[in-house]
Amino acid sequence: MLTRVTDVLGSVAAVLACPVCGASLAAAPAPPEQPRRLVCPTGHSYDVARQGYVSLLPGSHRHRGDTAAMVARRLAVLGAGHFDPVADAVLDLAAGTAAPGVLLDVGGGPGWYAARLLDAFPERAGISLDVSAAAARRAARAHPRLASVVADATAGYPLRTGSAAVVTCLFAPRHGTEISRVLAPGGVLVIATAGRDHLRELVATIGMLAVPADKEARLAKSLPGFGALDQRRVRRTVALSPAAATDLALMGPSGFHLDAERVAAGWAPGRPVEVTLDVLVRVYTVK
């Protein structure tokens, strides 16, 4: 497994940029049983973790990443198919992009969405950026053509300018200036955000974080220089088991604020929990 994921990182290394000096990276030869490394021409070196990801974080960063428990909950929810229509909408809006370059999934988590897209884009390689090492470990094994990189998505991206044909930012922070920089001419940005009714039953029942009232204004402000091309709204009601409802409630930012035992005790035993999924998926290009 280490050989495969190292080969994936090696194949996209020239697209990656050293977080110290900005130069392109390359896979360095390594003796058997020694850590693989990515290096830049000036000698900065980054070990590939045993699990197959590489960390390109600077010395300090502002955001903590998802915990291993949150990542496991997210994979359980995604694996059950509840967000399949969202993935289909992302694929629909990203399809047909002829620009050269990689698929970049910003805040890619465990790589579930990126893997779905790469299945549909057999000619492209992908890179998942996430600040969580727990998520990066999963992303490194999500798809044979997906490279997993630990990076702070709210800061500068460790990618070369114009290297991405498609950038996805799905329920994750956006850095409009950096997205514009790394997009190739003719490339597209696809974003998924929570609609006003998203998980409203969980907000009312257990007090999880609600969608901010100014979310649309903040989205527009975060993407200077971009123009919207199209959008899809995915709205559906799903019936979840109490365990699945707990996973859904705690797989995101609310997982840092809510007590898991208290959340699990908030459902009627043995009765399904009806939850509204309300997601807006949009595609943009640089004006």
**Predicted pLDDT at 154:** 84
Taking residues 214-241, what's their average pLDDT?
93
pTM exceeds 0.85, yes or no: yes
**Predicted pLDDT at 33:** 57
* CA–CA distance, 200 with 195 (Å, rounded to integer): 10
Between β-strands 126-130 and 146-150, what pairing exists: parallel, antiparallel or unpaired?
parallel
Name 96's Cβ contacts closer than 8 Å, sequence gap at least 6. Answer: none
**Predicted pLDDT at 13:** 92
* CA–CA distance, 209 with 228 (Å, rounded to integer): 27
Taking residues 114-127, what's their average pLDDT?
96
Taking residues 239-252, what's their average pLDDT?
94
Name 32's Cβ contacts closer than 8 Å, sequence gap at least 6. Answer: none
Taking residues 63-91, what's their average pLDDT?
95
Answer yes or no: is pLDDT of 216 > 90. no
pLDDT band (50, 70, 90) for residue 104: very high
**Predicted pLDDT at 1:** 39
Mean pLDDT of the chain: 91
**Predicted pLDDT at 158:** 96
* CA–CA distance, 250 with 262 (Å, rounded to integer): 11
**Coil, strand or helix at 63:** coil
**Predicted pLDDT at 185:** 96
Residue 70: enclosing H or E segment and its boundaries?
helix 68-79
* CA–CA distance, 9 with 255 (Å, rounded to integer): 31
**Predicted pLDDT at 28:** 87
| First-to-last C-alpha distance (Å) of the chain | 42
